[in-house]
Structure 1
Amino acid sequence: AIRSVEAIRLLLAAGADPTLETRIDDYTTALEEADKAGFEAGASLLRDATAKRRSKGR
């Protein structure tokens, strides 16, 4: 897996939903996968995006 904070930023800026679960493997979210892989920078971005999304009521 490629670890790219910039790719995560671009996807989130384009409106990607950080709370969506995958349809393969264990139906995990990107945040769960980042945590599992030890990708702290990516997990932090995804946590922030998830919190913002929840605060907006989405």
Structure 2
Amino acid sequence: ELPMEMGYHFGLDTGSLSILGHEHNNVDAPAISLWNAVSNDLFALTPRAGASRA
């Protein structure tokens, strides 16, 4: 387990999303749930075929 000061070793890209969580909802087992995901990884940027505009 690393101290918080060592966090600078894990670079995060600009415009990305990273989520830190816990393994199997166990607070004693930290885990990386999502790392450096960009918008294309999270959702489609183009409308779905047949989708109506509001």
The structure with higher relative contact order (CA 8 Å, sep 6+) is 1
**TM-score using structure 2 length:** 0.23
Between Structure 1 and Structure 2, the one with more strand by share is: 2
**TM-score using structure 1 length:** 0.22
Between Structure 1 and Structure 2, the one with more helix by share is: 1
